[in-house]
């Protein structure tokens, strides 16, 4: 039980004793604002009809009885209609004991729910870029947070391995590749295929320009460019299972998968199940056929299949092209049905950028009209784009920030800045490499995850590796600092594992204990809002508190043995919760730094 719920139960008991039957929803508890004295605040206004007294009188009456009946309540004060409750020192000592005793602190028991989280969802025509990094980090972190809240989580990746965009890379490789392979060129497979996607666009634009110069309109030229017609023909052959096209497709996709695996491993993300669009689009087509038979969909003169959603405030949506080839919506219908039926899901969360908000609105509505009630259990975790100081990225023009290059630069920058600050002094080359990798990736992950998912964000690599302020390295350094203190205590044979009695708590120590006690509720709030940023903010506040405390109070040089042992215990629990918090973000913390 969280502390705010515990206080709510106490307040409910006291209010019911004073005023008769009080409904739980009439008890509103919130954290006391920093400018007022107290830990938690009871809002009395919902109780005034029962008390028949002023807000101040009601608050005082409840406060007096709470202090009389509950030893956990140390004091109270009233500001207008708000009852600010201060918990006793003994309560906070007991809370700290509970934190220490709980080996699975912050981990909720199983709730029996199975949730699938789909993230990454790359196209096999280009390498992963900065936008994919935000997607992968969000998906992985949300999965960890949902697990910590007692859910059985299935991490899923849907690979968009077919379609016109894939055929564009294939056509360009056939035309201009001269048999190039990752082995012959020394280029990572996903990068090599991505180069030909850019090559396709370059030649496509040249052909459009030539057709326009010959008197064709630009719109007509865009549709008539020979290289595009070749890609469209290749897609039709792929769906017809042409042997040569399928062989080329399998070879080039194989290069991409090998490249993706390297990037995923570097980022520290993984998947429980991988789905492929090439294996699900036919199921989507069968769903479209069923919808046609039921009169839910309709066919236009060109043979294309649509659904009319104008009565729902939307528009008409294409479900199948006139030539019989599928669109994204086709396969998403198929994969949704397959996943819910095969995995007995209680919900699915799609981690997809906000440019697809309309797509998922339509997906849920179409499934609902087809009679699938579980469509209500689909959630689109919509996130904003990642921009750079120089502007947006464009895959076709080759102006994206490559994920592999970015990680490499982050680690190099971490090494440069760590060396400048003396953070690597005394480290072996192997230790330095591990620490710099940890810092570089931690900086990248934290900088991205500390931002609310719904917001568009500006990524500044160097700013993210600042060892001061709200950054991953600041939190990592705090953990390393505490680890150093605890190692020195062990070297001095100080046993701080046993229970410490009769220790006088400083106000700063109580603040740290309060924050530790809030960890389970923080994890729950992060899950409710699908927001790793909640965890990031918590970890930063905990580190700020500890660093301020450490600056003002000695630990190992403390003369009172009892106080020294308690402070070591407190430091140990702070380090433990930092590590747990950062693990939810997919970030490692170093023992030395």
pLDDT by residue (tens digit) across 474-497? 999 999 999 999 999 999 999 988
Q: Is residue 392 pLDDT above 70, yes or no?
A: no
CB-side neighbour CA atoms (13 Å) of 546:
32
User: Cα dist. 183→45, 146, 170 in Å?
Assistant: 72, 41, 18
Domains of the chain as residue ranges with CATH: 3-87 (3.30.1360.70), 119-387 (3.40.50.620), 403-584 (1.10.730.10)
pLDDT score at 390: 62
503-528: buried (b, 16+ CB within 10 Å) or exposed (e) per residue? bebeeebbbbbbbbbbbbbbbbbbbe
Neighbouring residues of 344: CB distance < 8 A, sequence distance ≥ 6: 114
Neighbouring residues of 590: CB distance < 8 A, sequence distance ≥ 6: 434, 435, 438, 439, 476, 479, 480, 483
Rounded to whole angstroms, how far apart are CA atoms 324 and 302?
10
pLDDT score at 559: 92
pLDDT score at 393: 43
Average pLDDT, the chain: 92
pLDDT score at 34: 87
pLDDT score at 413: 86
In the chain, the percentage of residues whose pLDDT exceeds 90 is 79
Question: Which two three-digit tokens encode residue 359?
Answer: 């797509």
pLDDT score at 428: 83
Q: Is residue 398 pLDDT above 80, yes or no?
A: no
Collapsed DSSP state (helix, strand, coil) of residue 116: strand
CB-side neighbour CA atoms (13 Å) of 536:
29
Element (H, E) at 31: strand 28-31
Range from 120-134, 260-274, 383-397, 428-442 carrying the lowest mean pLDDT: 383-397
pLDDT score at 101: 92
Q: Is residue 394 pLDDT above 50, yes or no?
A: no
pLDDT score at 239: 86
Euclidean distance between the first and the last CA atom of the chain, given in angstroms as a whole number:
36
- Which phi and psi angles does 128 have, rounded to 5°? -70, 145
User: Cα dist. 101→94, 373, 555 in Å?
Assistant: 10, 43, 22
Question: Which two three-digit tokens encode residue 461?
Answer: 């690599």
Q: Is residue 426 pLDDT above 90, yes or no?
A: no
- The arithmetic mean of pLDDT across residues 373-379, rounded, is 95
* 252: confidence class by pLDDT, cuts 50, 70, 90: very high
* 416: confidence class by pLDDT, cuts 50, 70, 90: confident
Collapsed DSSP state (helix, strand, coil) of residue 501: coil
pLDDT score at 397: 47
Instruction: Note the pLDDT tens digit of each residue in 62-74.
Output: 999 999 999 999 9
In the chain, the percentage of residues whose pLDDT exceeds 70 is 98
Tell me which residue has tokens 């309109």.
Answer: 217
pLDDT score at 490: 94
Name the more confident of 184 and 415: 184
E-strand stretches of 360-494:
378-383, 386-387, 457-458
pLDDT score at 457: 87
Question: Any idea what the Cα angle at residue 304 is, between residues 300 and 310, rounded to 5°?
Answer: 65
Name the more confident of 486 and 592: 486
H/E/C letters for each residue in 254-268? HHHHHHHHHHHHHHC
Neighbours of 125 (CB within 10 A): 28
Rounded to whole angstroms, how far apart are CA atoms 205 and 303?
30
Range from 60-69, 385-394, 468-477, 521-530 carrying the lowest mean pLDDT: 385-394
* 425: confidence class by pLDDT, cuts 50, 70, 90: confident
> Which one-letter DSSP state was computed for residue 298?
E
Rounded to whole angstroms, how far apart are CA atoms 411 and 434?
10
359-365 long-range contacts, CB within 8 A, separation 24+: 359/328, 359/329, 359/332, 361/314, 362/309, 362/314, 362/317, 362/329, 363/329, 363/332, 363/333, 363/336, 365/309, 365/312, 365/314
Longest dimension (CA), the chain: 93
């Amino acid at each position: 039980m969280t502390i705010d719920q515990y206080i709510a139960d106490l307040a409910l008991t006291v209010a019911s004793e004073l005023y008769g039957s009080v409904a739980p929803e009439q008890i509103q508890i919130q954290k006391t604002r920093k400018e007022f004295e107290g830990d938690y605040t009871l809002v009395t206004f919902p109780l005034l009809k029962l008390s028949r007294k002023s807000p101040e009188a009601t608050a005082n009456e409840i406060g007096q009885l709470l202090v009389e009946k509950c030893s956990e309540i140390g004091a109270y004060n009233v500001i207008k209609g708000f009852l600010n409750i201060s918990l006793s020192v003994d309560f906070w000592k007991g809370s700290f004991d509970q934190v220490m005793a709980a080996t699975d602190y912050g981990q909720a028991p199983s709730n029996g729910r199975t949730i699938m989280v789909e993230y990454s969802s790359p196209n096999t025509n280009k390498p992963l870029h900065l936008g994919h990094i935000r997607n992968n980090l969000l998906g992985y972190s949300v999965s960890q947070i949902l697990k910590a809240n007692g859910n059985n989580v299935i991490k899923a990746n849907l690979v968009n391995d077919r379609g016109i965009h894939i055929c564009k890379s294939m056509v360009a490789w056939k035309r201009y590749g001269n048999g190039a392979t990752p082995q012959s060129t020394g280029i990572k497979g996903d990068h090599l295929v991505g180069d030909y996607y850019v090559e396709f666009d370059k030649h496509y634009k040249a052909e459009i320009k030539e057709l326009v110069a010959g008197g064709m309109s630009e719109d007509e030229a865009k549709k008539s460019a020979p290289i595009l017609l070749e890609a469209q023909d290749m897609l039709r052959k792929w769906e017809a299972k042409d042997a040569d096209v399928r062989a080329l497709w399998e070879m080039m996709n194989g290069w991409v998968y090998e490249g993706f695996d390297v990037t995923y491993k570097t980022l520290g993300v993984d998947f429980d199940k991988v789905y492929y669009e090439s294996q699900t689009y036919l199921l989507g087509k069968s769903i479209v056929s069923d919808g046609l038979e039921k009169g839910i969909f309709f066919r236009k003169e060109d043979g294309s299949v649509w659904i009319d959603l104008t009565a729902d405030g939307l528009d008409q949506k294409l479900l199948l092209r006139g030539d019989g080839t599928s669109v994204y919506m086709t396969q998403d219908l198929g994969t949704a049905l397959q996943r819910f039926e095969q995995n007995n899901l209680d919900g699915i969360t799609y981690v997809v950028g906000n440019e697809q908000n309309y797509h998922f609105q339509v997906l849920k509505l179409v499934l609902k009209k087809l009679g699938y009630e579980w469509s209500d259990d689909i959630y689109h975790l919509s996130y904003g784009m990642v921009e750079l100081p120089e502007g947006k990225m464009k895959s076709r023009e080759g102006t994206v920030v490559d994920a592999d290059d970015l990680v490499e630069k982050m680690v190099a920058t971490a090494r440069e800045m760590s060396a400048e600050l003396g953070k690597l002094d005394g480290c072996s080359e192997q230790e330095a490499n591990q620490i710099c990798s940890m810092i570089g990736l931690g900086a990248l992950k934290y900088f991205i995850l500390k931002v609310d998912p719904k917001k568009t964000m500006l990524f500044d690599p160097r700013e993210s590796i600042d060892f001061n302020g709200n950054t991953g390295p600041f939190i990592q350094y705090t953990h390393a600092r505490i680890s150093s203190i605890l190692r020195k205590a062990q070297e001095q044979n100080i046993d701080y594992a046993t229970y410490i009695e009769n220790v006088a708590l400083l106000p700063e120590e109580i603040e740290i204990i309060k924050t530790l006690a809030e960890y389970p509720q923080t994890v729950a709030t992060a899950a409710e809002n699908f927001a790793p940023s909640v965890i990031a903010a918590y970890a930063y506040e905990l580190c700020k508190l500890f660093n301020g405390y450490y600056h003002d109070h000695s630990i190992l040089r403390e003369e009172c043995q009892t106080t020294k042992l308690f402070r070591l215990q407190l430091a140990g629990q702070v380090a433990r919760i930092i590590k747990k918090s950062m693990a939810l973000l997919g970030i490692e913390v170093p023992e030395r730094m």
